[in-house]
Chain A
């Protein structure tokens, strides 16, 4: 845990609004697992609130409300990503060490509208792929109804001249490539069936993916497929 000065500084600047996007995301991720940071943020928000109160009140035009209703009722990206977030939060309850992840995922609730995710009805598995030290690097959501995997990177991008490649790792038998995963978010078709207890893994491959159909580079992230519900 960071020392108390650092916590105060981060919490204060978080509330002030002067952290850049990455720093703010990091604070939100960290606060999920750090009650002291959450408390410090709450205290700073309370301390500075009178400055916000001083703005007074300005009724917004009525069109704003209808816009909000339209967005919260839409069966759009927001709702689906949120569902993933909530699923992960439920998993966190059952899985030690998930602390920061739910909060980290909140970040892409806000940033990910351009990707068209699969319908939410058939969502059946979630996997969190960790690297060394247990830091989450990818979250995979597997929808067996639509046969699609949505992969979301929460860690670092691959080196510029390399690609990440996603693999199915069955209990026995060879790994199967599920595609290259270089984007922040990838939606890829499942060409094999997946079962709980299997693993998903990410290896580092030459740009564009493994030339052989088998992983040629190191496996850097791996995680178990877990039932989502």
Chain B
């Protein structure tokens, strides 16, 4: 297994906090928030169109976490991963409700993509981060761009379609093929 000495204890703490939150423990919820909100806010800010929208999405994410904590299953995902999925969906919902993203932002984003990949040691689990980075680098530029714009910036298929000048159905096909390639590269794990 990966070396997780540094991360194992906090992880168990978070699982315990999640259980307490599922039992409607506000103190535990506050602790969970204090431990994880900076991370979730950073994630949400990349997707949201403005600072205000990011704050709104973060709030929505935490309400969803509170409401659905009883569904968290530590056998399926870590608490952070589960909360990340909720936060990203909350941010994506906010973006798709609002006005179309300004395309100038999209152009600037491409330049940043390389920097946004997890650097060694930047991820909570360095080994997993490196493997993913290696596998993303194995995709061609367009595929990698689509996956990153979708995951990190919340791009929809329609936005990707405009950005890459491809029909929506083609975008879907490319995304699915890229995912299969990533999974195979990661050894199906």
Residues from chain B with Cβ under 8 Å of A55 in the complex: 39, 42-43, 45-46, 152
Picked from A58, A65, A68, the residue with its CB within 8 Å of the CB of B42 is: A58
Q: Are B77 and A50 neighbours in the complex by a CB distance under 8 Å?
A: no
Chain B residue with Cβ nearest A5: B180
Given A12-B176, A12-B179, A42-B76, A109 and B116 touching (CB < 8 A)? no
Contact with A along B20-53 (1 / 0, CB 8 A): 0000001001100100011101110110000000
The interface centre, meaning the residue of B155, B160, B179 with most chain A CB atoms within 10 A of its CB, is B179
Given A53-B123, A53-B124, A64-B58, A24 and B89 touching (CB < 8 A)? yes
Picked from B82, B148, B180, the residue with its CB within 8 Å of the CB of A8 is: B180
How long is the Cα–Cα vector from A204 to B30 in the complex, in angstroms?
Answer: 49
- A61 lies within 8 A of chain B by Cβ: yes
Contact with A along B143-165 (1 / 0, CB 8 A): 00001101110111100100000
Residues from chain B with Cβ under 8 Å of A16 in the complex: 147, 150-151, 175, 179
- A78 lies within 8 A of chain B by Cβ: yes
Chain A residue with Cβ nearest B51: A61
CB interface residues, B 158-183, toward A, < 8 Å? 160, 171-172, 175-176, 179-180, 182-183
**Interface residues of B, Cβ cutoff 8 Å to A:** 26, 29-30, 33, 37-39, 41-43, 45-46, 55, 58-59, 62-64, 66-68, 73, 75-78, 80-82, 84-85, 88-89, 92-93, 96, 116-119, 122-125, 128-129, 132-133, 147-148, 150-152, 154-157, 160, 171-172, 175-176, 179-180, 182-183, 186, 189
